[in-house]
Amino acid sequence: MTKDDFELQVMDGYLVVRGEKRVEREESKGRYHVTECAYGHFERAISLPDEVESDKAKASYKHGVLRVEMPKDKA
């Protein structure tokens, strides 16, 4: 996956992560040729412990790990 495969949104005290996973793999061994494809939409809602400043959020995706940082709201 790439960072463009994710959609992040803060709604009603939740961080909502949506995306679509697309995996394609081909392998040849001797007389055999294998092609594997996996596709699927996913969505997760993660409860936030405090109010956050969503306009100051930062997200990165490296080596299969999505990291989201959101500062707490100081109000």
Over residues 42-63, the pLDDT tens digits come to: 999 999 988 999 889 999 999 8
Q: Is the Cβ–Cβ distance between 70 and 10 less than 8 Å?
A: yes
Task: Let me know if residue 74 belongs to a domain.
Answer: no
* pTM recorded for the entire structure: 0.70
Tokens of 51: 């109010």
- pLDDT (0 to 100) of residue 10: 92
Over residues 5-37, the pLDDT tens digits come to: 889 999 999 999 999 888 788 888 888 888 888
CATH number, domain of 52, equals: 2.60.40.790
15 contacts: CB under 8 Å, gap ≥ 6: 8, 9, 45, 46, 48, 68, 70
Q: Is the pLDDT of residue 69 over 90?
A: yes
Task: Let me know if residue 28 belongs to a domain.
Answer: yes
Counted domains in the chain: 1
The band of 75, judged by pLDDT with boundaries at 50, 70 and 90, is: low
Domain range for 10: 3-69
